[in-house]
Structure 1
Amino acid sequence: MAIPAPTKRLSFQEMTPADLDDMAALLGDPEVMRYYPAPMSREQAARWIEWNQRLYREHGHGLWLLTLRDTGEFAGNCGLTPQNVEGTVHVEVGYLLRTHLQNKGYATEAAHACRDHARDVLGLDQLIAIINPDNRPSQRVAEKIGLAFERTALYNGCQQRIYAGSLHTDPARRRAQRS
């Protein structure tokens, strides 16, 4: 499976069971998970890793573990996941970063790399982001990578803002890539 190319400051890798301590700390952090229904337990974090490993096998993508290139420090996760929004499956770009690494541009950097990977490697035409209406920082990341607010939708029992964007704005480029 291809993973996104490293960025200036971040590297991507597949999640494995060996990453459980880092993922449990991330997904169990109330500040990181403030826009989710609740922080996750260690068992839920293990299922998160299993879910992503299944996505890698079945779709060739999922959420990837992020590390800082200069230190190797675990930073969070970012990637591409299929999401069913009101009966239609879309590929979503998603990102979660450790609290002390937020507001430093890492989420935008990682999301840019995943957007480019979706377009250039996976050949996708569109991405979405499903974002809590109160999560303005995540909305800004989506906007910075070219997604725009499209609508509000019911997702997992909650009203969420759906951001969407075409990955190929030039019709001639789309035709050339399909040939």
Structure 2
Amino acid sequence: MPVLTTDRLRLDELTDADLDDVAAMVADPAVMRFYPAPLDRTGAQRLIDRNRARYTELGFGLWAVRTHAGEFVGDCGLTMQHVDGRDEVEVGYHLRTAAQGHGYAAEAARACVQHAHQRGIERVVAIVDHENLSSQRVALRAGLLLESVLDHGGRSTHLYATTVEGPGPDE
């Protein structure tokens, strides 16, 4: 049973059966360009395990993103991040290189933001590297607005945010 569905996508909890797809995605240097380094298979398994624990602890995490036909395109979901001295719910996403440029990230992220608001989470953020222009566009298309530029983990990042009171232009 999907956690969320959109016109073209379904978001499901990650399972061990997703390891091959997740491992291939997070090993891709293009996908992981704005992260410290690509992940090996062990790192991919840890990503799955961490998110499965989040489902139990928080009721959310990163979910597998698939087309309705079942093709794995990436992951997207909600995580807790410590940003600028406070805990925030972040919408995050990774897409396979072949799946980029089709609007999947924005579609999945928008659904996750709406899901968060339906759960009573008033504020959702996206933390985006200042050089990651495509991810900045995803945040905007998901209904988040640029709030500030800050140092996060030693890198200049853009903090996008939305609230129930002040949704972005697509909501």
What is the distance in 1 between the residues matched to 2:21 and 2:163? 33
Per mean C-alpha deviation after superposition, the further-off stretch among 20-29 and 154-163 is 154-163
1:46 corresponds to: 45
Question: Where in structure 1 are there 5+ consecutive unaligned residues?
Answer: 171-179
TM-score (norm 2): 0.92
Once residues 3 and 150 of structure 2 are traced to their aligned partners in structure 1, the CA distance between those partners, rounded to angstroms, is: 30
Query: What is the identity, as a one-letter code, of the residue corresponding to 2:37?
Result: A
Number of paired residues? 167
Local SS of the residue matching 1:110: helix
Alignment of 1:1-179 (within 5 A): 3-4=3-4, 6-69=5-68, 71-120=69-118, 122-169=119-166
Deviation at 1:101, TM superposition (A): 1.1
**Structure 1 CA distance for aligned equivalents of residues 100 and 14 of structure 2:** 21
Cα distance 1:150–1:169, how it changes in 2: closer, same or farther (>3 A)? closer
> For residue 88 of structure 1, what is the amino acid of its counterpart?
R
- CA distance, structure 2, for counterparts of residue 23 and residue 135 of structure 1: 21
Moved segments of 4+, more than 4 Å: none
Q: Distance in 1 between matches of 2:37 and 2:163?
A: 32
- 2:137 and 2:156 map into 1 onto residues whose CA distance is 18
Residue by residue over 1:94-128, the C-alpha shift from the partner in whole angstroms, topping out at 9 and shown as x without a partner, is 111111111111111101110111111x1111110
Write the letter of the residue equivalent to 1:39. P
Asked whether the 8 Å contact 1:85–1:154 carries over to 2, the reply is: no
Residue pair 2:2, 2:11 contacting (<8 A) in 1 also: no
SS at 2:116 equivalent: helix
**Compared CA separation, residues 168 and 135, structure 1 to 2 (3 A):** same
- For the aligned residue pairs, the C-alpha RMSD in angstroms reads 1.7
Q: Could you say which residue in structure 2 is the equivalent of 1:175? A: none
Distance 1:150 1:169 in 2: 12
TM-score, normalised with respect to structure 1: 0.88
Larger Rg: 1
